[in-house]
Structure 1
Amino acid sequence: MRAARKNRRRRGGKGKGCARSRQIDGIHAQAGEYASLT
């Protein structure tokens, strides 16, 4: 599952995972992923 998360994090905001990344961005916000998603 970790590998899938890494993949999603790469195309999180730009891919179709936009809506889904929103749900995950809460967890990534701690790792500073939110900034990379926006």
Structure 2
Amino acid sequence: MHLMMTSNQQSMDIASQRTYEMADILQVIQRNQPM
């Protein structure tokens, strides 16, 4: 059980890291292509 919780926490950290990366990419796109 503890191992699964640790693995799940790792997955959540990776997911949030990717979310931040996607947000940065979206900001760059919006800057390069103003609506």
TM-score (norm 1): 0.33
Q: Which has the higher contact order (CA 8 A, sep 6+)?
A: 1
TM-score (norm 2): 0.35
